[in-house]
Amino acid sequence: MWQMWHRERSASTGTLCFLWLLTLSLRAVGNDSFCSWSMQLEVRKEHFAYCIQSSEGIFRSPNLLKELLLDEYVHIIQLTFKTPQKGILFVPDSTYAEGRNMLLLEACREELVLGFRFGYLVFVDDDVSILQGSFKAWHAEMLQWEPAIMIPAFNFVLDERRYKGRPVGVWCYDSFFVAYHRELADALLPLDASLDDVDACWWDSSFYIQYLSQIHLQGHILVSDKLVVRGLIKGTYPRHGCYGHGARMWELVKSRHENFGASLKHVAGVGSWYLEWGAARKRQGKGYDLRPDPANWSLRVWPTLAIKRKSLNS
């Protein structure tokens, strides 16, 4: 187990002051030379960076850390926003997007220390509970299909007769647990925190990158039930004003990507979560840099069905 969280680091006053100044500058610029430098490194696909933010550095999940420790190729990168902890990045009073952006930068810095790039960057909330499956099985499927984005099943298993044990393309999902292929992360991240309404909705920046990636990568954004999870605790951050914000972000994506032309007017009718979004496809040379792909100019959206699944609560 590669344990970044276990590494001894100085928690001196000088170090904390440096981190505070670094935090302010990174919040301002969003990206950093760490990530530009790390692009020059080779990728080791079997290594996964799990980026987790919490208030005090203690996971609220009863089994997330235990299950992660079972995979020797997992690297855990942590951030706290309320209470500083030795050896953990501290970004006081950061928003959801700001915290994830800082975790991205820390992952790039860790790549420079290790001398290689991770295969996937996985962002996970600290209250995620593992209900079924394993990280090893989920990672194995990820390496087999090499999707642009993969998420675990959210309190359900996929219908065996319909999908025959394969993952399925998904439209709209909960971002509390999401894995980004390293190439896509370069193109898609960091999150644009300026899109978020700090008083009403911290989800807009996540809505935006979901829609952006989905119009480029139909069939390469997959849900797999080799790992089944559930969030245990509702977040206390602002989200009471999120109703309707997804539609606003969709209009913003369309306005910025008119090159997709007529295809996008059909996609506008897709408004629900966990819908089938193209047959699952292996990467097979597909580029994940988000350049316009002629194959997506005729997106297959009708009929768009809810993913056939069985809830674990039933």
Question: Residue 243 above 90 pLDDT?
Answer: no
Distance CA 114, CA 33 (A): 16
Range of lowest pLDDT (30-34, 47-51, 286-290): 30-34
More confident site: 21 or 226: 226
Q: How does pLDDT run across 52-73, given as a tens digit for each residue? A: 999 999 999 999 999 999 999 9
> What are the extents of the domains in the chain?
4-182+217-235+273-290
Topology annotation, domain 4-182+217-235+273-290: Spore Coat Polysaccharide Biosynthesis Protein SpsA; Chain A (3.90.550)
Distance CA 79, CA 126 (A): 10
**Which tokens sit at 226?**
């080799």
Half-sphere exposure of 307 (CA within 13 A, CB side): 33
Integer angstrom CA distances of residue 122 from 119, 158, 252 = 10, 22, 26
Compute the residue count for the chain: 314
**Highest-confidence range of 6-10, 160-164, 199-203, 267-271, by mean pLDDT?**
160-164
Q: How does residue 245 score in pLDDT terms, banded at 50, 70 and 90?
A: low
**Highest-confidence range of 182-196, 198-212, 295-309, by mean pLDDT?**
182-196
**Highest-confidence range of 151-165, 207-221, 275-289, by mean pLDDT?**
151-165
Contact in structure between 26 and 190 (CB atoms under 8 Å): no
Q: How does pLDDT run across 218-233, given as a tens digit for each residue? A: 899 999 999 999 988 7
